[in-house]
Amino acid sequence: MEVATINFDRFNALKDEDAHARIRAARAKLGDKAVLLCHHYQRADVYQYADLTGDSLKLAKLASETSAEYIVFCGVHFMAEVADILSSDQQIAILPDLAAGCSMADMANLAKVERCWRELTEVLGNPDELITPVTYINSAADLKAFCGEHGGIVCTSTNAPTILDWSFKQREKVLFFPDQHLGRWTGYKQDIPLDEMLVWDPDQEYGGLTPEQIKKARILLWKGHCSVHQMFQESHIRRWRMQHPDGFVISHPESNLEVCKNSDYVGSTEYIIKTIKAGPDGSRWLVGTELNLVNRLAEEEKARGTIVEFMAPTVCMCSTMQRIDPQHLAWTLENLVAGKVVNRISVPPHEAEMAKVALERMLSVS
Ligand code: 13P
Ligand code: SF4
């Protein structure tokens, strides 16, 4: 007899302690059939159930290596898409709440990127011969497929410098989307002058640039950003350094150029965690990345007298990833126990094939 899907309504009103009890019971029943992958920004009450954690690059590799039938992704939509693309056809990627998107990823879409490519064709001739499209992994699968089809590649916050090198070996210019800040910081570190890295505004004709500007640019930076990391400002660092001249500042490269320039260390979420954990006992850190990660590190580092502080005066969490709460996780796992898959992330085959080309190019060079 066909098993009915358990409706989420019955879970929505669950008290947290009941949701936790049900997660533990369902998790035990699923055993090796399921693996829970958690991004470092995941809220603490879900992160505690992670089998494996990581930044986007590490999670992509873990998803390609696991043999579990169900990959339950506690992260955001693009991460679960990558897990689906890189895992086998028999494996199933699941996002416990489909509303867990990434606001930065939503700042670029295929229609706008294709229009950009058409406009670049008008100004430069065939862009396939002149421009390497590079998409940050924080993007929809169809944009990764676009890169796959046009000789381009995916990058993450960890491997962006290597990917930029690779891209310039293929062609003389780069179109980098959707995060202007990661693109600018990576180009800046490779000595590309700021006036040769121009912002492409997808809501204006020709990105708001003149033909001369487009011809001169080495990197066209898509006008996109992360709503969390845009909160961090150089003034926060300056003020903090006056009070703590011996402290260290560490930031994620989605922060703006001035924040990155004024940080002692810049890198991915995994890099931030490893660097602070390897720092001296009793040291003090100002961190420019998402609040759940910073709060967790602050708690873990207390024991050795290390102080970890959040860069912005306002609360800034990844509010979309936050939507994956114990209630959604309990609902997802109980359905799996009952033999029902809810919230499957399944990228259409042609898109997945071309997106995989761009992802595998990344994995082979990083
Ligand atoms: P990481 O790959 O560094 O974990 O970054 C992902 C992300 O979305 C940061 O906002
Ligand atoms: Fe996207 Fe920003 Fe959340 Fe990262 S922190 S997943 S870039 S919205």
102 alpha carbon, closest ligand: 2
CA of 268 relative to ligand 1 center, distance in Å: 6
pLDDT in tens, 56-73: 999 999 999 999 999 999
Which residue puts its alpha carbon closest to atom 6 of ligand 2?
102
Any known ligand binding at 318?
yes
How much is the pLDDT for 218? 98
Q: Residue 38 in contact with residue 79, Cβ under 8 Å?
A: no
CA angle (358 as vertex; 352, 360 as ends), nearest 5: 90
Percentage of residues in the chain having pLDDT higher than 90: 96
Which residues lie with the beta carbon below 6 Å from any ligand 2 atom?
41, 76, 102-104, 138, 226-228, 254, 290, 318, 320-321
User: Residue 123 pLDDT > 70, yes or no?
Assistant: yes
User: Residue 352 pLDDT > 80, yes or no?
Assistant: yes
How much is the pLDDT for 10? 87
User: Residue 3 pLDDT > 80, yes or no?
Assistant: no
Instruction: Write phi, then psi, for 102 (nearest 5 degrees).
Output: -130, 120
156 alpha carbon, closest ligand: 1
Segment 247-256 shows an average pLDDT of: 98
Record the pTM: 0.97
Any known ligand binding at 350?
no
Q: Residue 58 in contact with residue 66, Cβ under 8 Å?
A: no
Sequence-distant (≥ 6) Cβ neighbours of residue 8 within 8 angstroms = 327, 328, 331, 342
Q: What's the token pair of residue 201? A: 């505004």
Q: DSSP for 243-259, please give it.
A: H-TT-EEEE-TTS-HHH
How much is the pLDDT for 1? 61
Homologous superfamily (CATH) for 105-227: NadA-like (3.40.50.10800)
CA of 269 relative to ligand 1 center, distance in Å: 6
Which residue puts its alpha carbon closest to atom 3 of ligand 1?
268
Asked if the peptide bond before residue 348 counts as cis, ω within 30 degrees of 0, the response is no
pLDDT in tens, 253-291: 999 999 999 999 999 999 999 999 999 999 999 999 999
How much is the pLDDT for 316? 86
**CATH number for region 229-310:** 3.40.50.10800
The response to whether residue 55 sits with its C-beta less than 6 Å from ligand 1 reads: yes
The response to whether residue 135 sits with its C-beta less than 6 Å from ligand 1 reads: no
The response to whether residue 84 sits with its C-beta less than 6 Å from ligand 1 reads: no
- Any idea where the domains of the chain sit in the sequence? 9-101+320-347, 105-227, 229-310
Which residue puts its alpha carbon closest to atom 8 of ligand 1?
138
Distances 154 to 224, 280, 355 between C-alpha atoms, Å: 16, 35, 9
Segment 82-95 shows an average pLDDT of: 98
The response to whether residue 157 sits with its C-beta less than 6 Å from ligand 1 reads: yes
Q: Which atom of ligand 1 is nearest to the CA of 39?
A: 4
In angstroms, rounded to a whole number, what is the distance separating the alpha carbons of residues 144 and 155?
A: 10
pLDDT in tens, 158-212: 999 999 999 999 999 999 999 999 999 999 999 999 999 999 999 999 999 999 9
Homologous superfamily (CATH) for 9-101+320-347: NadA-like (3.40.50.10800)
- 110, amino acid identity: L
Q: Residue 71 in contact with residue 83, Cβ under 8 Å?
A: yes
